Amino acid sequence: MVGVISISDNVRELDVFPPIMNLISRSIIRNISNDLWMATETMDVLNYDWNVKWYHSMPIDHFSYRAVEIFSLKYLVNYSYFHCGGPLFFYVGNEGAVESFAQNTGIMWDLAPSFHAAIVFAEHRYYGESKPYGERSYTSVSRLGYLNDIQALADFAELISFLRTDQGELGFCPTGTEIPVIVFGGSYGGILAAWFRMKYPHIVDGAWASSAPIRNFYGTGVNPDRVSNITTTNYVNSGCDREVFSKGFSAIEKLSETEEGRKKLNRIFHSEPGYEMESSHDFINLYSYIYAAIFYMAMSDYPYPTNFLTPLPGYPVKYVCQNATKAKTSDEGLAEQLYNIINVYYNYTGQLSYHCFTDGCQKLTPFHNHDEDTAWNWQCCTSLTVQTCDRGGENDFFLNTCGNSDSLINTDMKYCTKLFENIGYNSNFFKYEDAMIRYGMTYNATSNIIFSNGKLDPWSGGGIYENSPGIMEAMKKGVYIFHMSDAAHHLDLRAPNTCDPPSVTYERFQVVNILKCWVYKNCTELPKSNPLPDNIDWQVPHNCQFIKYGYPWGYMQSKK
């Protein structure tokens, strides 16, 4: 589509522009899948040992009593710390290869020895190597239809049940030995961890759901523009002039409308030769490219250098804001400011000569896992219909994509239909009420779940708060809520570090005491949670180092 439409009025009027959830997650999957998860941080690297296992008898459909198809589900294990009577620490796989989450969920590895815990990371069906139909898994709705959260949770339930049987890997314990199960998950995995406890309380003793936007669905009352509002607030509080972005987006849109302007953008953004901007339509591609970098840095705003998505400095948002304290006055100057910001995300190591963001760039990235892109988009277009949009104006510095609730649903359905119509999809597959119906959004009957969110994390707006329906009743039954200042996306699940904010360290300390109560049945009274420090006077240390087996991290057991 090459016609010029005023993007500033409503980006969603362009049917080529994907919903934010799809836009954001697709590149995350790409980065995870091309082995960037292998840590190459400037600090000491923590490497973990695991064995690869396969459960070869996993039903493709858990809920049919006539289907007999099975597939092999991959999972990673480490039983070196396990003693009979200890717990099973079980990570519910996210939207990517399971190794990435095993490498980046350091808190499980750190706590396992003291709990004598078995460690299992289960891969999510249709991701990594757990493909029910092999390379044909993504070619029709009849095959992709088995990709959803309900089937994935049933996979995890069956795997755990098998591991604890006489034939399972933990079946060597004496008859009657209890093996409590604690599930961990971050982001989509955090949603799954909470839902797993809610749906299978007889299997799961407790869940730690970090950075889980579990209320970011249609009909929950959560404003869909909260994600972009938090992102904007993080950048502004870190010293950025919001007009660098708001005026910058208008500037690149204006420049993209003329041949001379596109030449300037190609020069400023170091466009890949042969894939330069050639029409006004390419503004959408450039905007998406910039948007993704801004959003990822907000998600990955960790206090120390990381390489989870791509190599980044510590607190990357503050890093880029040092040179974005005042917006330039010319269109070219504004475009250059945006380039300097996103170049930190895409090219912090300085090894990238060109940026590629126009149609056809995927040809230059043979490592790009299109199957996993397809899988995640399918989930977003069926049962995992997360509602997000940008409003612009006072709410955020992005372009307006919100419209009203009905237009969001209709636009997302149109996008999904266009994306999957060649394999048999239609708008009836867009089940935007599924999460509400299957799990509910009232938590008065919920127990034994830790909901933790970082205030820097864009997705925290869709998390659980004290005013969430039924949550006050649930807090009497082992549901805990922690809000960590200066913490981004599931920082608390990463390996402890000397540069972690005090709020994260104290949250982990309290979580360990909660886990002990869930694991050890002699616990007669649930621990009470205490407020976390706000980190106002906290200064990040200069030398960041991982802390191995450091519990209680300076806190006394008697601290209340």
Please give the DSSP secondary-structure letter assigned to residue 119. Answer: E
pLDDT value, residue 40: 36
In a domain, 158, yes or no: no
Residue 85 — pLDDT band, cuts 50, 70, 90?
A: very high
The one-character DSSP state at 146 is: T
- Candidate list 489, 490, 492, 503, residue with the active-site label: 489
Largest CA distance in the chain: 77
Residue 10: band (very low, low, confident or very high) from pLDDT cuts 50, 70, 90:
very low
110, 149, 373, 457: the catalytic one is 457
pLDDT at 22 over 50: no
Tens-place pLDDT, residues 453-509:
999 999 999 999 999 999 999 999 999 999 999 999 999 999 999 999 999 999 999
Q: What is the C-alpha to C-alpha distance for residues 407 and 208, in angstroms, rounded to an integer? A: 35
Q: What number is the average pLDDT over the span 35-41?
A: 33
Tell me if 252 sits within 8 A of 283, measured CB to CB: yes
The DSSP code for 36 is: I
**pTM for the complete prediction?**
0.92
Bigger pLDDT: 346 vs 521:
346
3-state SS of 168-180 is CCCCCCCCCCCCC
What CA–CA distance (Å, rounded) separates 529 from 503?
Answer: 13
Is residue 38 scored above 70 in pLDDT? no
The yes-or-no answer on residue 241 being catalytic is no
355 has catalytic annotation: no
Average pLDDT over residues 22-45: 39
Sheet holding 88-92, edge to edge: 51-59, 70-78, 118-122, 88-92, 181-186, 206-210, 449-454, 479-484
Mean pLDDT of 340-356: 96
DSSP strands (E only) in 417-534: 449-454, 479-484
- Residue-wise pLDDT tens digits, 135-162: 999 999 999 999 999 999 999 999 999 9
Query: What is the three-class DSSP state of 306?
Result: strand
pLDDT of 542: 82
Give domain status of residue 327, yes or no. Answer: yes
pLDDT at position 67: 74
Judge whether 217 lies within some domain.
Answer: no
Does the residue 387 lie in any domain? no
- Structurally, how many domains does the chain consist of? 1
Specify the pLDDT at position 329.
98
Query: Catalytic residue among 137, 187, 238, 460, which?
Result: 187
Look at residue 75 and tell me if it is in a domain.
Answer: no
457 catalytic per annotation? yes
Quote the domain boundaries for residue 333.
Answer: 11-36+225-368
The whole-number average pLDDT for the span 237-257 is 98
Q: Is residue 291 situated within a structural domain?
A: yes
Q: Are 361 and 282 contacting, i.e. CB atoms less than 8 angstroms apart?
A: no
Q: How much is the pLDDT for 365?
A: 55
Report the CATH number at residue 241.
1.20.120.980
DSSP 69-81: -EEEEEEEEE-TT
Residue 255: inside a domain: yes
Q: Is the predicted pLDDT of residue 31 greater than 70, yes or no?
A: no
Length of the chain: 560
Task: Please indicate, yes or no, if residue 541 is contained in any of the structural domains.
Answer: no
Per residue in 386-429, pLDDT tens?
999 999 999 999 999 987 766 889 999 999 999 999 999 999 99
> What is the predicted pLDDT for the residue at 557?
65
pLDDT band at residue 27 under the 50/70/90 scheme: very low
pLDDT band at 44 (very low <50, low <70, confident <90, very high): low
